């Protein structure tokens, strides 16, 4: 996780869920408790070090087994503010129409290959940050999505080898301005408005989640379940997406692919449901956690 202490909110540090608390990796490396090529403050910096994530994982497992001399590096989760795992990816790529039930509810044609669209990093916010309703739209929808974070540079990658290039997985709420999406005839502005890409709360490695298949995915709006599915229902699986994208775009370390949303989105309901100021939206994916954000009006 990327986090900051609530007593020093502008100082971002790198941490890990360690037992019931947050373990300060940045401090542990600085104090030589962990051996690492350099002090790192974000997950992006770790990914730039060859096999950096795997190295840290191995050492953290060793500390867990030893469980001594680590108390000064542990904080209660309630004492820290979590940030998006990847705050400024070079590419944030969305996938459209990738669950059968979402295709059916939108009465769209089933794609024969992954449908890609671009989102900008300015839209990324972290857990507990606010989604802001912009002045130019009042039809703001939610989309629960599993997101893939790249750990190696990938170009012309085969489906069989694609997972070798993955660092891990997180959650993205692909917030969408449906009126802008309809009026523009394409998706960039509707998806990249400020605060429209909540991400988090954690990055969970591929060693833990494999291909990301078979994970329950759910979205709740003000406590009511609106989306409820499983990543086994993805039309194009994670290896398919990486292979397909890498044939036209070089995927760089830290790039994020948001893999698409299941059925239950607001604009396809009767009556339609859009997010309003005061709402709370939660996306939960099995073994990753809960991404929670409030909704506020433009100030």
Kindly report, residue by residue over 68-101, the tens digit of the pLDDT: 778 889 988 888 999 999 999 999 999 999 999 9
| Domain containing residue 226: CATH number | 3.90.850.10
Is beta strand 216-221 parallel, antiparallel or unpaired with respect to 224-230? antiparallel
Is 132's pLDDT higher than 80? yes
Final residue belonging to a domain, choices 83, 113, 129: 83
Dump the DSSP string for 149-215: EE-S-BSS--TTTGGGGEEEEEEEE--EEHHHHHHHSSSHHHHHSTT-EEEEEEEEEHHHHTTSTT-
Mean pLDDT value of segment 37-63: 94
Share of the chain above pLDDT 70, in %: 99
Say whether both 99 and 78 belong to one domain: no
Say whether both 111 and 221 belong to one domain: yes
Say whether both 51 and 194 belong to one domain: no
Residue range 176-200, pLDDT digits in tens: 999 999 999 899 999 999 999 999 9
Q: According to the model, what pLDDT value does residue 273 have? A: 98
Is 7's pLDDT higher than 80? no
Say whether both 195 and 152 belong to one domain: yes
Say whether both 57 and 109 belong to one domain: no
Mean pLDDT value of segment 48-67: 90
- Cis peptide bond N-terminal to 173, omega within 30: no
Say whether both 6 and 63 belong to one domain: yes
Say whether both 31 and 157 belong to one domain: no
Provide the residue range defining the domain that includes 129.
92-297
Say whether both 72 and 209 belong to one domain: no
Q: According to the model, what pLDDT value does residue 21 have? A: 87
Say whether both 41 and 148 belong to one domain: no
Q: According to the model, what pLDDT value does residue 3 have? A: 87
**What kind and span of H or E run contains 140?**
strand 140-141
Report d(CA 268, CA 101) in Å as an integer.
11
Mean pLDDT value of segment 8-33: 90
Q: Which of 112, 82, 114, 109 is nearest to 96 (CA)?
A: 114
Neighbours of 166 (CB within 10 A): 25
Residues 198 and 128: beta-carbon distance below 8 Å: no
Residue range 269-296, pLDDT digits in tens: 999 999 999 999 999 999 999 999 999 9
Band the pLDDT of 139: cuts 50, 70, 90.
very high
Band the pLDDT of 299: cuts 50, 70, 90.
confident
Is beta strand 92-96 parallel, antiparallel or unpaired with respect to 115-119? antiparallel
Final residue belonging to a domain, choices 83, 110, 132: 83
Is 159's pLDDT higher than 90? yes
Report d(CA 11, CA 261) in Å as an integer.
33
Report d(CA 215, CA 204) in Å as an integer.
13
Q: According to the model, what pLDDT value does residue 157 have? A: 98
Band the pLDDT of 5: cuts 50, 70, 90.
confident
* Tally of structural domains, the chain: 2
Residues 213 and 223: beta-carbon distance below 8 Å: no
Is 174's pLDDT higher than 90? yes
Q: Phi and psi for 232 in degrees, rounded to 5?
A: -65, -15
Q: Which two tokens stand for residue 280?
A: 């709370």
Is 11's pLDDT higher than 90? no
Q: According to the model, what pLDDT value does residue 78 have? A: 86
Q: According to the model, what pLDDT value does residue 66 have? A: 80
Final residue belonging to a domain, choices 83, 112, 144: 83
Residue range 218-257, pLDDT digits in tens: 999 999 999 999 999 999 999 999 999 999 999 999 999 9
Band the pLDDT of 152: cuts 50, 70, 90.
very high
Q: According to the model, what pLDDT value does residue 150 have? A: 98
Q: According to the model, what pLDDT value does residue 70 have? A: 87
Report d(CA 23, CA 1) in Å as an integer.
9
Report d(CA 131, CA 173) in Å as an integer.
10
Say whether both 79 and 98 belong to one domain: no
Say whether both 67 and 127 belong to one domain: no
Measure the CA dihedral 187/189/195/197, to 10°.
20
HSE-up (13 A, CA, CB side) for residue 108: 16
Burial zone of 38 (CB within 10 Å; 0-12 exposed, 13-18 middle, 19+ buried): exposed
Q: Which two tokens stand for residue 92?
A: 């944030």
Q: Is 287 helix (H, G, I), strand (E, B) or coil?
A: coil
Say whether both 70 and 145 belong to one domain: no
Report d(CA 244, CA 222) in Å as an integer.
37
Is 67's pLDDT higher than 80? no
């Amino acid at each position: 996780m990327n986090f900051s202490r609530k007593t020093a909110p502008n100082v971002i540090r790198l941490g890990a869920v360690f037992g019931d608390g947050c373990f300060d990796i940045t401090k542990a490396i600085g104090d030589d408790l962990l051996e690492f090529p350099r002090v790192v403050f974000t997950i992006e910096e770790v990914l730039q070090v060859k096999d950096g994530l795997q190295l840290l994982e191995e050492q953290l497992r060793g500390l867990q087994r030893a469980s001594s001399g680590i108390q000064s590096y542990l904080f209660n989760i309630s004492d820290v503010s979590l940030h998006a795992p990847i705050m400024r990816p070079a590419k944030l790529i969305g996938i459209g129409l990738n669950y059968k039930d979402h295709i059916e509810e939108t009465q769209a044609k089933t794609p024969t290959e992954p449908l890609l669209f671009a989102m900008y990093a300015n839209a990324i916010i972290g857990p507990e940050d606010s989604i802001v309703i912009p002045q130019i739209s009042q039809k703001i929808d939610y989309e629960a999505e599993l997101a893939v974070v790249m750990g190696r540079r990938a170009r012309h990658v085969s489906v069989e080898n694609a997972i070798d290039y993955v660092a891990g997985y997180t959650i993205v709420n692909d917030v969408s301005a449906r009126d802008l999406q309809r009026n523009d005839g394409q998706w960039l502005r509707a998806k990249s408005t400020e605060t429209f890409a909540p991400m988090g709360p954690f990055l969970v490695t591929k060693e833990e989640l494999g291909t990301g298949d078979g994970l329950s995915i759910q979205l709740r709006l003000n406590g009511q379940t609106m989306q409820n599915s499983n990543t086994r229902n993805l039309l194009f699986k994670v290896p398919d997406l990486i292979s397909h994208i890498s044939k036209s775009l070089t995927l760089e370390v830290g790039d994020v692919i948001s893999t698409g949303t299941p059925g239950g989105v607001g604009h396809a309901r009767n009556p339609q449901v859009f997010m309003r100021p005061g709402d709370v939206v939660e996306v939960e994916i099995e073994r990753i956690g809960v991404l929670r954000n409030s909704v506020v009006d433009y100030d």
